[in-house]
Amino acid sequence: MDYQEYLEPPRKNKSNFGKGVAVGTLATLLVVTLTAGGIWLGVSAGSQRKVLSQNEESSREAILEKSVEEKSGEIADLIDQYYYEDVDEEALVEGMYAGMVEGLGDPYSAYYTAEEYRALTESTSGIYYGIGAVLTQNVNTKVVTILHVYPGTPAEEAGVKDGDVIVKVGDIEGDSMELSELVTHIKGEEGTTVHLELLRSGELEHIQLDVERRQIEVPTVQSEMLEGQVGFIQISEFSESTPEQFSEAWKELENQGMESVIVDLRDNPGGVLQSVCAMLDAILPKGLLVYTEDKYGSRSEYKSDAECTKLPMAVLINGNSASASEIFAGAIKDYEYGTLIGTTSFGKGIVQTIIPMEDGSAVKVTMAKYFTPKGNYIHGAGIEPDIELEYSYQEETEGEVYNPLHDNQVLKALEVLQKGENSE
Active site residues: 323, 334, 348
- Residue 17 DSSP class: G
Q: Is 141 helix (H, G, I), strand (E, B) or coil?
A: coil
> 50-59 — which CB contacts under 8 Å span 24+ positions?
51/296
Q: Is 388 helix (H, G, I), strand (E, B) or coil?
A: strand
- In DSSP notation, 196-250 reads EEEE-TT-SSPEEEEEE-EEEE---EEEEEETTTEEEEEE--B-TTHHHHHHHHH
Label residue 29 left, alpha or beta by phi (over 0 means left) and psi (-120 to 50 means alpha): beta
* Dist CA 344 CA 170 (whole Å): 37
* Dist CA 269 CA 382 (whole Å): 13
Cα dihedral value 246, 250, 256, 261, nearest 10: 110
Q: Are residues 287 and 256 in contact, defined by beta-carbon separation less than 8 angstroms?
A: no
